[in-house]
Amino acid sequence: MLYRSLGRTGVQVSTLALGAMNFGAIGNTSQEEATAIVDAALAGGVNLIDTADMYPGSEELVGRAIAGRRDDLVLATKAAMPIGAERNHRGTSRRWLVTELDNSLRRLGVDHVDLYQMHRWDPETSDEETLSALTDLQRAGKIRYFGSSTFPAYRIVQAQWTARERSLSRYVTEQPSYSILQRGIEADVLPVAQEYGLGVLAWSPLASGWLSGAVRAGQEIATSRAQALPERFDLSRPANQARLAAVEKLAALADEAGLTMIQLALGFVTAHPGVTSALIGPRTLDHLHSQLAAADTVLTGDVLDAIDEIVAPGIDLAPEEKFDTPPALLDAALRRR
């Protein structure tokens, strides 16, 4: 396993980090299975575990799995996404963050988290409100650092400016979606993160299974995501036809380079100088072992150039699946008088 500094914090983290979204209801993972995955991940050199309040049961499973070794790892969680129907149980207001962090600490069974991330930008809440609350929580010792997730580049810049102008602590990490098939962040988010010295934890490096070998031409799709999100795997859609065509070329490239598809995909993400870690989200031990096999994969320049020929830099093959689109592009009422 390789290790890199998490932005400018000085904290060293593994280039493959364990995402725990599949722990609990989403992946139908039991405590025994979750603990076995955490055990194997730590044994393989992983030292960062990432979860979120919105993953049902995940924080509880992670908390029990790390009991007795909490200080041996970097623990991250997230808030901001809706929790239930109550309108104020979401977002990044001081009211909610102070309450929900305590809920996360209780579920995790710890007295602090190392990294507290805002799961999405909240257009209803000012940067000053959010950063002020996070700074106070940091000073109280409940969080060591805080970061953003899936923020548009201009919101990352705005938050950095607000922190400086108001003498508040700043976001030190960003967690964007990034893979060979979704390269849009190369155009703006990654350069901005590098400019501000942010650590970058890339989620969905296997593109929801598209780059794991589970989606191939002429074969039945072998990923549980196809049942949960059928539109993302509907091969009648032009975006998915483009993805499948790219996957077939990437599979041939991986074979030629003597790599698995997973090694090619994870090696690509961790090759970018702006990326700190790729978040893997195994649902089973077999998934984990196939992903840990990419821990020391370093792609050659020739292979990276060949990937660029298949999917051009800065291009998203499924742009409609982006999660950082400005609200005014999604709601006509926000762009009309």
Residue 225 belongs to what H/E stretch? helix 225-228
Q: Of 205, 217, 203, 285, which is closest to residue 248 (Cα–Cα)? A: 217
Tell me whether residue 196 is one of the annotated catalytic residues: no
Q: Of 120, 107, 145, 111, which is closest to residue 20 (Cα–Cα)? A: 107
Residue 191, classed as helix, strand or coil, is helix
Catalytic residue among 55, 116, 145, 171: 55
Q: What is the DSSP string of 36-78?
A: HHHHHHHHTT--EEE--TTSTTHHHHHHHHTTT-GGGSEEEEE
- Where residue 258 falls (left for φ over 0; alpha for ψ -120 to 50; beta otherwise) is left
Q: Are 200 and 274 in contact (CB under 8 A)?
A: yes
- State which amino acid sits at residue 329: L
The first and second tokens of residue 87, run together, are: 């309108």
In total, the chain counts a number of residues equal to 337
Distances in Å between the alpha carbon of 333 and those of 178, 327, 328?
30, 10, 8
Q: Are 17 and 49 in contact (CB under 8 A)?
A: yes
- Phi, psi at residue 253, to the nearest 5°? -65, -40
The first and second tokens of residue 227, run together, are: 């049942």
Residue 116, classed as helix, strand or coil, is strand
Distances in Å between the alpha carbon of 223 and those of 28, 249, 283?
14, 20, 11
Summary count for the chain: helices (H), strands (E) = 12, 10
Active site residues: 55
